[in-house]
C-alpha cells in the first residue's frame, strides 16, 4: 500500500526548496561549520554532525522501537511469529536467528521527532509505543503489497510470500495490524486513544489508495489522469507519513492546528518520496534497490513519471502507449524508460518532488515555528528525498 523506505536506493538529489532559511541544515553545536566536536541538543541528546544527522536519528529510533517490536512479535502464535520475524529480518525462513535489516525506521523516527519537537525528551520517550505501532502498520502494508504486486525480493532477500506462500504472508500482515492497534489500546498515555483513531483512519485511507492503484492498472493509459495518480499516491504513501508526524504531535500535546500542519508536512514529504521512488522504480540500480530490474515497466505500472509522460502530448507518449498495450517482452523495460524520459516524465517527477518538499517545509514552519526545534523533522524529510540507495 505504501512504498517502502527501507531499501537502499540509487542516489537522487533534489534542489533545496526555494532556498528557504528554514530549510538550511543545522550545524552541530560548538562547531561553526558542523564538523568536529559534537555538542548537545536541547533535550540532552548528542547533536550529530552535519551529514550524519538523519542516519543518527534513524539509529536512535530503531534502538528505541525494536525492543517494543520484538516484544509485540513475540506475543504472536508460533507460525505467525515465524513469518513476522522473517519479514523483519530477525530470523531466516527455517527459524534460525538472522541479522538482516528490518528497515530504516523512517516512520517511527518521524513519530519520535515530532513528539520531541513539541514536547522535548519526555514526550519523545513517551511515544515509543506509538512509534512501534506505526512501524507495524507500515510492515503490514509491505507484506500485503508484496503479495499483490508479486514482488519476489525485499531487502535483498525473498519476500515473505515467496518463502511461506500467499496465505501465510497475508495473515501475518493482518496480525501486524492487530498488534499495532493493541499497542495503542494498552498504552496509558492520554494521547493513545486519539492516536489509535488516527492510525485506524490511516489504514482505511491506505487500503482505499491501494484499491485505486489496482483499479488504475486495469484501465487503459488514456483513461487514467495525472490528478488521479497523484491522489492515489498521497493515499498510498503520504497518509502514513502524515499520520506518523501527527501522532508524534498528539503525544507532545500539540494543538489541533499544529497536528493538522504536521500531518500535511508528512503527506507532502511522502508524496515527494513517492515521486522519487517511482523514478527509481524505472531507472534504479537493482543491485542497490534490492528489487528486480525494470519491475515497474515490466508490470506496466502507471506510476507518476509514466502518467506525466502520457499526459505530456509528446510524440513519445504514443510510443509509450503502444509499449503498454502489448504483453511484456525482454527489453521492454529499457524501451519504456527511454519513452518516458523523452516525453518528460522523469524531469516532471523530479521537479514536482522538489515542489512538494517546498510545500512540506511551509507546513513544518506552521507546526513548529522554531527551526532548531524542527531540525530533526527537517533532517528526516530531507533523508526521505535525498536518499542514496
Q: What distance in Å separates the CA atoms of residue 193 and residue 187, rounded to the nearest whole number?
A: 9
193 Cβ neighbours under 8 A, 6+ residues apart:
184
- The pLDDT of residue 245 is 98
Cβ pair 199, 137 in contact under 8 A: yes
Q: What distance in Å separates the CA atoms of residue 164 and residue 151, rounded to the nearest whole number?
A: 14
Question: What cell numbers appear for 123 in the block?
Answer: 514526550
The interaxial angle of helices 375-385 and 106-126, nearest 10 deg, is 170
User: Would you place residue 293 in the very low, low, confident or very high pLDDT band (cuts 50, 70, 90)?
Assistant: low
- The pLDDT of residue 31 is 28
Tens digits of residue pLDDT in 58-85: 999 999 999 999 999 999 999 999 999 9
The three-state secondary structure class of 251 is: helix
153 beta partners? 158
- The pLDDT of residue 43 is 42
Domain extent listing, the chain:
17-385
Q: How far apart are the first and last CA of the chain?
A: 20
- The pLDDT of residue 202 is 98
Q: What is the DSSP letter of 190?
A: T
Mean pLDDT of the chain: 86
| Fold annotation for 17-385 | Farnesyl Diphosphate Synthase (1.10.600)
Name the H helices within 252-344.
Answer: 256-283, 286-289, 295-298, 304-311, 315-325, 332-342
Work out the percent of the chain whose per-residue pLDDT is above 70: 85
40 beta partners? 46
The three-state secondary structure class of 107 is: helix
Least confident of 13-22, 184-193, 272-281: 13-22
Mean pLDDT on 174-193: 98
- The pLDDT of residue 25 is 33
Amino acid at each position: 500500500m505504501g512504498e517502502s523506505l527501507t531499501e537502499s536506493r540509487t542516489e537522487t538529489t533534489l534542489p533545496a526548496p526555494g532556498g528557504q532559511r528554514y530549510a538550511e541544515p543545522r550545524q552541530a553545536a560548538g562547531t561553526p561549520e558542523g564538523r568536529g566536536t559534537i555538542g548537545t541538543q536541547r533535550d540532552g541528546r548528542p547533536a550529530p554532525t552535519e551529514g550524519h544527522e538523519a542516519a543518527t536519528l534513524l539509529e536512535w529510533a530503531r534502538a528505541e522501537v525494536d525492543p517494543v517490536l520484538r516484544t509485540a512479535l513475540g506475543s504472536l502464535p508460533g507460525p505467525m511469529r515465524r513469518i513476522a520475524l522473517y519479514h523483519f529480518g530477525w530470523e531466516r525462513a527455517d527459524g534460525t536467528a538472522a541479522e538482516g535489516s528490518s528497515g530504516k525506521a523512517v516512520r517511527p523516527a518521524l513519530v519520535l521527532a515530532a513528539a520531541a519537537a513539541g514536547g522535548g525528551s519526555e514526550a519523545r520517550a513517551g511515544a515509543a509505543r506509538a512509534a512501534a505501532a506505526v512501524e507495524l502498520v507500515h510492515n503490514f502494508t509491505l507484506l500485503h503489497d508484496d503479495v499483490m504486486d508479486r514482488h519476489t525480493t525485499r531487502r535483498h532477500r525473498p519476500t515473505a510470500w515467496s518463502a511461506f506462500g500467499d496465505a501465510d504472508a497475508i495473515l501475518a500482515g493482518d496480525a501486524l495490524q492487530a498488534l499495532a492497534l493493541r499497542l495503542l489500546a494498552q498504552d496509558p498515555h492520554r494521547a493513545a486513544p486519539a492516536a489509535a483513531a488516527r492510525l485506524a483512519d490511516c489504514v482505511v485511507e491506505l487500503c482505499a489508495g491501494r484499491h485505486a492503484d489496482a483499479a488504475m492498472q486495469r484501465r487503459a493509459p488514456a483513461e487514467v489522469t495525472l490528478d488521479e495518480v497523484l491522489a492515489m499516491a498521497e493515499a498510498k504513501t503520504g497518509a502514513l507519513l502524515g499520520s506518523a508526524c501527527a501522532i508524534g504531535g498528539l503525544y507532545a500535546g500539540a494543538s489541533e492546528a499544529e497536528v493538522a500542519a504536521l500531518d500535511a508536512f508528512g503527506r507532502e514529504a511522502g508524496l515527494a518520496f513517492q515521486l522519487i521512488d517511482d523514478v527509481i522504480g524505472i531507472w534504479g540500480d537493482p543491485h542497490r534497490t534490492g528489487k528486480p530490474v525494470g519491475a515497474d515497466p515490466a508490470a506496466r505500472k502507471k506510476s507518476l513519471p509514466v502518467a506525466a509522460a502520457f499526459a505530456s502530448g509528446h510524440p513519445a507518449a504514443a510510443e509509450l502507449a503502444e509499449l503498454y498495450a502489448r504483453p511484456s517482452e525482454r527489453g521492454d523495460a529499457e524501451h519504456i524508460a527511454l519513452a518516458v524520459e523523452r516525453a518528460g516524465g522523469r524531469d516532471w517527477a523530479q521537479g514536482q518532488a522538489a515542489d512538494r518538499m517546498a510545500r512540506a517545509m511551509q507546513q513544518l514552519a506552521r507546526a513548529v515555528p522554531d527551526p532548531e526545534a524542527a531540525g530533526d523533522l527537517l533532517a528526516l524529510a530531507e533523508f526521505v528525498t535525498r536518499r542514496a540507495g
